[in-house]
Amino acid sequence: MPITTVKDSQGNITKVVLVEASGAAVEVYLYGATITSWKAKGKERLFLSKQAILDGSKAIRGGIPIVFPQFGLGKLVQHGFARTSNWQLLGYKDQIDGAKAMFLLTENEHSLSMWPHKFRAVYTIRLDSDTLNLSLSITNTNTSAAGSFDFTTLLHTYFLTPSISEVAVHNLAGLSYTDKVAKLDNVVEKNDPVSLASNVDRVYHNAPEKINIDISKHEAVLLTKTNFKDIVLWNPWAELAKGMADFGDDEYKQMVCVETGTVGSPISLAPGQTWEGHTSIVLQ
C-alpha cells in the first residue's frame, strides 16, 4: 500500500505516511496538513525541531507548514489558521509517476471565528524517487456577489542542512526585497549566491520560477514554483532561537527556510473563482 495512517484513541486519523515505490516517503500530520518528514535517496531532507509540539495545540515547528490566508502579522493570528486547522484526507493514489495524496480544508468554526469567508482549500502532495511536488488550490465558495476575499499564502519549507555556513541560495541577485530585520523595503539583492551569517527574514518579490539551493557542500535542490510570486528566506539565528520555546537554542545551525508564496501583494478571488499554486523540490 502506498499509504499508512496513524489514528488516535477515538479512531481519528492524525498522521499519514505516503510511500513511493523507490522507498521515498513523506509524513503528513492532518493538523495543518503539515509535512514533517521527507525522506528521499536514503536521507531526511526536512528540518523538524526536536522541540516541535505535535499534539495539535500549536503550529508545528518545522517541515512544511501551510500559511493561509495571511502571511506574518495582521488582523488574524500570525500566518493564518490553515497551519492550526484539522484537514481531511481527501484521497490517495499509487500511480506510474509516484504516489499522491490530497487533503481538504473548508470553512469551520475555527476559521470563521477570525475570517468570515467560505472557501475550499485542496493540498496535493505527489512524491517520486527524488522529487516532492506540492499544489495548493483555493476556491472562493461564497455565494453572494459581495463575497470576494483577498489572501496571501506560502509553503513555509524548512530545509535540513548539516551546517548553515554551507547554505547558498542562488538566482536572487537583482531582486527587490523587504528586509524584516532591518525594517527596510525595496532593498536590491547584490549577492549571488546569498549566504546566511545572522538573523535573516526577507521577502524577495517577483522571484524567478527556479531557485537553486546548495544545502551543503555536496547536496543541492532545485526549487521550482508556478503562480507563487515571491520567495521568503528565513533563519532566526542564535538570539531569536533562544526565545522560541519550540525551537532548540542551537538548531538554527541545521536549518534554512526557503519558502515559495505570494505574500508581497494579496490575491483576490471573486465568488466561484479558484487560484492554484505549485512548487516542486528536486534533489540535484
pLDDT, tens digit (0-9, with 9 covering 90-100), for 248-266: 999 999 999 999 999 999 9
The pLDDT value given to residue 177: 98
What proportion of the chain, given as a percentage, has pLDDT over 70? 99
**Average pLDDT estimate for 26-33:** 98
The amino acid present at 255, given as its one-letter code, is M
Rounded Cα distance between 123 and 222, Å, is 21
**CATH of span 3-283:** 2.70.98.10
In the chain, the N- to C-terminal Cα span, in Å, equals: 28
51 in a labelled binding site: no
The pLDDT value given to residue 2: 84
Q: Are 27 and 15 in contact (CB under 8 A)?
A: yes
Neighbour count for residue 245 (Cβ, 10 Å):
8
Rounded Cα distance between 83 and 239, Å, is 25
Burial class from Cβ neighbours inside 10 Å (0-12, 13-18, 19+) for residue 59 reads: buried
Concerning whether 276 is annotated as a catalytic residue, the answer is no
Half-sphere exposure of 15 (CA within 13 A, CB side): 13
Query: Quick one: which of 69, 29, 74 has its CA closest to 53?
Result: 29
The pLDDT value given to residue 1: 58
pLDDT, tens digit (0-9, with 9 covering 90-100), for 193-230: 999 999 999 999 999 999 999 999 999 999 999 999 99
107 pLDDT above the threshold of 90:
yes
The pLDDT value given to residue 145: 79
pLDDT, tens digit (0-9, with 9 covering 90-100), for 38-73: 999 999 999 999 999 999 999 999 999 999 999 999
Rounded Cα distance between 180 and 79, Å, is 15
45 in a labelled binding site: no
What three-state secondary structure class fits 100? strand
**pTM exceeds 0.95, yes or no:** yes
Helix residue ranges, H only, the chain: 109-112, 237-242
- The whole-chain average pLDDT of the chain stands at 96
117, 156, 205, 278: which is the annotated catalytic residue? 156
Cell 517577483 -> residue: 206
117, 205, 259, 278: which is the annotated catalytic residue? 259
Rounded Cα distance between 224 and 201, Å, is 21
126 in a labelled binding site: no
**Average pLDDT estimate for 82-99:** 88
**Average pLDDT estimate for 234-250:** 97
**Average pLDDT estimate for 159-170:** 98
Concerning whether 156 is annotated as a catalytic residue, the answer is yes
What three-state secondary structure class fits 101? strand
What proportion of the chain, given as a percentage, has pLDDT over 90? 93
DSSP for 236-254?
-HHHHHHT-TTS-TTGGGG
The pLDDT value given to residue 94: 74
